[in-house]
């Protein structure tokens, strides 16, 4: 499983951006009610934000609520993704959805915004989430999914609410392999970058080592 404990220098070659990211991480570490840690995993700088669950009405076995900020190579021009990694209640929303826009309301991301300012909005978001817990339809609509976004198999395997299944589709001259993902609220279809090859009646199924990325093809 890909889990190198590397810093921003592994992702950001531009010195100015690297210094910006390092300053962002320092500001996060100085917040009073937030614990954070970062590592490069699955090709992105991932920042875990840990919050005390005792301040909220969620019935959790764990004392911490974990969010994850995923920073791509185009950060800060490209906004980070914000994922919830703790299952708070059903329907679970700790799947593939990006919650950044919901957390920032009524503001929106811009390249001058800091990660610390995102973290400061998490308590109010959790309060809203606690108040809306009874409204399953409203909770289900939270967050955004991005067609074409790429994931590795180990990355998807870490998502506990997501059940992943191989599926096969008979096409004109081949058998194509897809992955079907099922969460509490959505169905996902993932298409491997490396398509299976068919020779005569034989089917070649790529191994996990051969499939570098899966792309989110469509969801329902």
Q: Measured in whole angstroms, how far is the alpha carbon of residue 163 from the centre of its chain?
A: 15
- pLDDT, tens digit, 9 for 90 and up, residues 26-50: 999 999 888 999 998 888 899 999 9
State the pairing for strand pair 150-151/214-219: antiparallel
Residue (of 195, 190, 196) closest to 215 by Cα position = 190
Q: Round to whole Å and give the CA distance between 7 and 12.
A: 9
Confidence (pLDDT) at 142: 92
CATH number for the region 8-140 comes to 3.10.110.10
H helix or E strand, kind and range, residue 128? helix 122-131
pTM recorded for the entire structure: 0.82
Task: Please identify every stretch of the chain with a pLDDT value under 70, giving residue numbers as ranges.
Answer: 1-6, 193-220
Query: Tens of pLDDT along 156-171?
Result: 888 888 888 888 777 7
Q: Tell me how far apart the alpha carbons of residues 167 and 125 are, in angstroms, rounded to a whole number.
A: 37
- Alpha-carbon gap, residue 169 to 176, rounded angstroms: 5
List, by residue range, all CATH 3.10.110.10 domains of the chain: 8-140
């Amino acid at each position: 499983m890909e889990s190198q404990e590397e810093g921003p220098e592994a992702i950001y070659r531009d010195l100015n951006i690297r210094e910006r990211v390092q300053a962002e991480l320092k500001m996060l570490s100085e917040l009073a009610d937030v614990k954070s840690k970062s590592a490069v995993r699955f090709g992105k700088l991932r920042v875990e934000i840990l919050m005390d669950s005792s301040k909220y009405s969620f019935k959790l076995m764990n004392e911490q609520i974990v969010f994850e900020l995923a920073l791509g190579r185009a950060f800060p021009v490209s906004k980070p993704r914000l994922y919830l990694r703790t299952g708070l209640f059903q329907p679970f929303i700790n799947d593939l959805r990006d919650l950044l826009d919901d957390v920032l309301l009524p503001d929106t991301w811009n390249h001058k915004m800091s990660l610390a300012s995102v973290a400061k909005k998490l308590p109010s978001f959790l309060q809203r989430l606690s108040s809306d817990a009874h409204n399953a339809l409203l909770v289900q609509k939270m967050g955004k999914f991005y067609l074409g976004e790429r994931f590795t198999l180990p990355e998807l395997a870490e998502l506990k609410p997501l059940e992943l299944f191989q599926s096969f589709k008979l096409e004109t001259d081949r058998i194509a392999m897809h992955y079907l993902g099922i969460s509490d609220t959505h169905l996902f279809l993932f298409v491997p970058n490396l398509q299976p090859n068919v020779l005569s009646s034989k089917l070649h199924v790529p191994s996990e080592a051969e499939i570098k990325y899966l792309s989110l093809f469509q969801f329902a």
